[in-house]
Structure 1
Amino acid sequence: MKTRYKTLILAAFFTGLTAVGAFIRIPLPFVPITLQVLMVLLSGLLLSPRAALLSQAAYVLLGLSGVPVFAGGGGISYTLSPTFGYLMGQIPAAWVISRIVNRGEVAFKKIFLAAMAGISIMYLLGVTVLFLNLNYVAGKPTDLAQVLHIGVYPFIFPDLLKAAAAALLTLKIRRVSKGPL
């Protein structure tokens, strides 16, 4: 298959997986989680940097255009949502993960650390937009410590588990496919 078509097909596939992952909820006592982040990690870990970036950019653009692919729906008004930064973070996160993992040897530690780098990017953009949203859109004065308490701390352990699961899946898939998809 020609590289351009393969890139587009794989990007579209992971766009769909990310959308489906947003609706698969795992109810936890305090914070329900979805499999969306896992799909973002897998897109970066399994695809080329271009395909990974394209898959997440297409997902965000689909949601902003009104297709209800986000966990909370869709539409341009989502740009004012407190969680919009996390969605925007998926785009560079997938690209960075792919750049890291597609250089040199691939081992569990490297894959896991690449996934954690991507999660850190999503947290950075997410916390920034959450802080701005709470303070300037919602008009609720909130300091950084409170924002971290709302938007990072409850998700650290589940995201560590997702990074580990993504790393294990990646090793198995790459063994079968003999490299990135």
Structure 2
Amino acid sequence: MNRKTSDITKVALFAALTAMGAFISIPLGVVPITMQSLFVMLSGFLLGPSLGALSQAVYLILGLMGLPLFASMTGGIQTIFKPSFGFLLSFIAASFLSGFFTQKKKTFVSFIKASIISSLVMYLIGLPYMAFILNFYLDEGLTVIYILKIGFFAFIPSDILKLILASILGYRLKDKV
């Protein structure tokens, strides 16, 4: 398989894995706990920054086109009006950063640091978007503390487990893909 075909296959594989991660879901208010962030980080670790980000862009575009690839088997352009859409948008940047920060230095510590940075970026993009949709589009009038409670604090334990798992898998598979 030539390089270009191999890259296309890997990008498609991680777009599919991220979609599968959406189906492994625990409903928890306006944003469910899913396994997507695990595959987002792994896409950057194993494909590098550019191809990792591309795999997440492909996932997002396919979902926006109407394929039911997002959590709760949803999809379509109307998804942009859901509180969780900011987290989906963040996947592109998070994957890029996980690949960027492990591109040259491939120690286990660098994978942990990259996972933490990627997770924080998902929150830095996802939480303001969630607050905007809930407070301005849906006119809920929620406080910042309440937004953090439903969109951040509840997810910390599962995100710590996912970032550790992503770091272990990324570190062990780094030279195999």
- What TM-score do the two structures reach when normalised by structure 1? 0.90
Deviations 1:124-174 (A, max 9, x none): 111011110111111011222211111011111110110101111112212
Q: Count the aligned residue pairs.
A: 174
- Mapping of 1:1-181 within 5 angstroms? 1-25=1-25, 33-72=33-72, 73-104=74-105, 106-174=106-174, 177=176, 181=177
- TM-aligned CA deviation for residue 80 of structure 1: 0.2
- In structure 1, give the amino acid aligned to 2:100: R
Unmatched 5+ stretches in structure 2: none
- In structure 1, give the amino acid aligned to 2:93: P
- TM-aligned CA deviation for residue 61 of structure 1: 0.6
- Confirm or deny: 8 A CA contact 2:32 2:71 kept in the other structure: no
- TM-aligned CA deviation for residue 116 of structure 1: 1.1
C-alpha spacing 1:71/1:32, structure 2 compared with 1 (3 Å): closer
Q: Distance in 2 between matches of 1:144 and 1:51?
A: 35
Deviations 1:13-63 (A, max 9, x none): 0000000111023589xx963211111111111112111011000001111
Unmatched 5+ stretches in structure 1: none
Q: Sequence identity, in percent?
A: 37
- TM-aligned CA deviation for residue 2 of structure 1: 3.2
Q: Distance in 1 between matches of 2:58 and 2:136?
A: 28
Q: Distance in 2 between matches of 1:48 and 1:12?
A: 14
Structure 2 residue matching 1:74: 3-state secondary structure: coil
Q: Distance in 2 between matches of 1:100 and 1:107?
A: 11
Q: Distance in 1 between matches of 2:87 and 2:18?
A: 13
Structure 2 residue matching 1:101: 3-state secondary structure: coil
- What TM-score do the two structures reach when normalised by structure 2? 0.92
